[in-house]
Amino acid sequence: MIGVIEKTVVDCLLEVGDQELVQDVFFAANIPPDRVYRMDRHYPDGETGRLINAVLKVTGLTPEQLFELFAKVFFEVVEDVFPEFLRMSKTSEDLVRKQAKIHALIAAGGRKPGESNKSTDKFQLEDRGPNEIAVRYQSELQLCGLYQTLVGYAADLFGDTVLIEHSECAHEGAEFCKIHVKWTSIAGQPTRFHPTAPQSPPGQMRYG
């Protein structure tokens, strides 16, 4: 997994706790205490899975709460580090349609010569016409819930309305996840990346 995911998870921990909480999670996940995740590096999916599971265990957050907090922190990271991705997008649909390419672009920076592009393999987007796409997602991490949360959060940030249907899911034994995304309204407003009314209650929690 590309390091932007792991770094965002650590940033989530710092949002609800402190460095001591990070160390508690690293210990539970059997991750070296001096690990510093970099966005331009790849880390084993197994380590990413251990990290996420340890976060849930140590903090007591539900997956849904963690995904909401992750989405909030992730878009703050993107706005700070990759603002051009947001400036190029007039709507949440524009941004989501670019997602697979953005994911692959970030991943390419940390890929070693001759290494396959696993990030591209995980996401495949099918154009279903205006305002509608189908996403094929396949990963041993099975973070389809996180992907749906990110899409929904992006729609909220842009003032758009979106319907998400998860027709096939690896959690239910399918070979891969198939997610249909349809935008039912496009706000056409200037993008706002910091909602005036945060929708993520976990962001108010404190640990430690």
Share of the chain above pLDDT 70, in %: 79
Average pLDDT, the chain: 83
Task: Give 124-129's long-range contacts (Cβ < 8 A, gap of 24+).
Answer: 124/100, 125/97, 125/99, 125/100, 128/180, 128/182
Q: Which residues pair with 54 in a beta bridge?
A: none
Confidence (pTM): 0.83
